[in-house]
Amino acid sequence: MTMRLSHVVRLALLGSLMLIGLILAASTDRLGDRISGLLRAEGVNDVDGAKRSLVYRLRLDRPTKFTLSGERELVRLLSSVSIAESAPIAPAGWVYGYRVAFLDAAGAVIEERDIYSRAVLPEMTEEIEPHRFLRTSNERIAIQNEAIIDAPEGTAAINLLALDADRGVLGMDIRVYERQPLSDSGALVAFRRRSSEEQAQLTSGSAFPADILSEAEMRAASRNNWRPIGPNGIAGEAYQLVVMYEVDVDENEAEVVAAP
């Protein structure tokens, strides 16, 4: 059963989201020339040179199940929504939510949580974000939101169910990650076995290069590595698979749009 967004939740989110209006620049309804060239009025969009990723579109009528490789304490969820091409820019963004049900090994529900986020388009913020799009649709893809949640003891799988969202939201897409438990010695060995490029990626948030990190910092970086997991069942039956394309945006191409 779906749930309507509560009045209290909407007011709380709206208050924080109205800050977006303070940083929006002069009105424009176009993207950079290179990005616009990828999107066509009808037919198939140009995906040459674009990165490809797989996401899973959540449903309102039944959950999508993801089985973990073992009991996990943390689960990472990356969500985004697609916005109708004709929807006007909303100064406060678009509110959406999804329900997480934690299941034990027998499939019984341990706990349920509802997670609400707000979606904004890349052109609505001053941050330089990649431009994401679909091959056969001009739906606009919002910036991704991240949620790292504590799983209750005994969690072996999760069910994800889309909740109602603001008008203009056409679909809600998700990716699920689990973090492998590592001992101190195992985390250190895992880090040292990685290539220099992989080590640099794991430590990208550090001010120091990977080769001068302490063992404690190496272990922490190794433990922060998340592994993607896919849903149970057959694509098209148990879940809906969506192929998303992504291109980097040059700073000179990025434009900020304001609500009319």
The reported pLDDT for the residue numbered 128 is: 75
Least confident of 1-5, 12-16, 221-225: 1-5
The pLDDT, as a whole number, for residue 42 is 53
Segment 129-154 shows an average pLDDT of 90
- What is the mean predicted confidence (pLDDT) over 207-223? 76
Q: What confidence tens digit (pLDDT) does each residue in 101-111 have? A: 999 999 999 99
Amino acid at the residue 49: G
Which H or E run includes 190? helix 184-192
- In 3D space, the residue among 147, 148, 146 whose CA is nearest the CA of residue 74 turns out to be 148
- pLDDT confidence of 175, banded at 50, 70, 90? very high
State the first-to-last Cα distance of the chain, in angstroms, to the nearest integer.
Answer: 36
Among candidate residues 181, 158, 55, 53, the one with its CA nearest the CA of residue 107: 158
- pLDDT tens-digit series, residues 47-104: 777 888 899 999 999 999 999 988 778 899 999 999 998 998 888 999 999 999 999 9
Specify the pLDDT at position 4.
Answer: 45
4, 12, 71, 242 from 56: Cα distances, Å: 22, 28, 22, 6
Please give the structure tokens belonging to residue 81.
């929504």
User: 12 to each of 118, 146, 196, 259, how far by Cα in Å?
Assistant: 11, 19, 44, 21
42 vs 160: which has the higher pLDDT: 160
Distance set, CA 81 to CA 20, 57, 97, 144, 187 (Å): 18, 9, 10, 8, 35
pLDDT band, residue 43 (cuts 50/70/90) = low
Residue 32 pLDDT grade (very low, low, confident, very high; cuts 50, 70, 90): very low
Residue 138 reports pLDDT greater than 50: yes
> 């974000």: which residue's tokens?
129
> What's the average model confidence in pLDDT over 114-122?
94
Q: What is the pLDDT of residue 34?
A: 43
- For residue 199, the model assigns a pLDDT of 72
Average pLDDT over residues 230-248: 92
- Label residue 181 by pLDDT band (50, 70, 90): low
Task: Please give the C-alpha separations between residue 216 and each of 37, 186, 219, 220, 245, in angstroms, as whole numbers.
Answer: 47, 12, 5, 6, 37
Q: Which two tokens stand for residue 32?
A: 């950079």
pLDDT(15) > 60: no
User: Rg for the chain (alpha carbons), in Å?
Assistant: 20
**Average pLDDT value over all residues in the chain:** 79
